[in-house]
Amino acid sequence: MNDIVRYWRTVCVDFAYKDWEQAGRKWALRNVKLRMSRKLLFLAGLLTVFSCHNQSSEHTEDMAANNSLRIQERLMTFVRSKPLEILVCALNRLGLQQNCLRTLKLYDEFLRSINDRDVRQELSLIEEHADRNPAFVRLRDLSHEFQAELQAICFREETDLRRFIIEYGVF
């Protein structure tokens, strides 16, 4: 879990470094990616760790080895999966299908937008001009909705994930 949190912090520091290094060019595009795709990568990592939580802890040496092997196999499955696959799998397992659908809809809109050449060109701007750019404002608002949905998934819905995040991710 510490490594997943450290990864997120590194992504944020990298964003700040690139902003400084590139004198703010492409700030808007990188900002939107940080708010959406990089945040999804972080959540997928967190869900990967969560997938191993509460695996039965065996007491005998043979049972412990088998449990360890099961966890390794589970982790390898997740490592080979795409972040959206991890999200869908975890949210379905938690009974959060509506949250999953809303999150996927928001992410799909984000992907469609940044795959549009005109929108990407519009987002090649510095921070000072971003608030006046309709494409950036729309994507920033979308990222706020995405953030609200992730907060609902992680903190507002009473699930094992919420308890896990509070116990291991916060304190």
Residue 127's alpha-carbon distances to 34, 142, 147, in angstroms, are 14, 18, 20
Convert the pLDDT of each residue in 10-46 to its tens digit. Answer: 877 777 777 666 666 788 898 999 999 999 999 999 9
Model-level pTM? 0.82
Cβ–Cβ < 8 Å for 126, 29 = no
Q: 148 lies in which domain range?
A: 2-170
Mean pLDDT value across the chain: 86
The total number of structural domains in the chain stands at: 1
Of these ranges, 24-38, 86-100, 116-130, the one predicted with the greatest mean pLDDT is 86-100
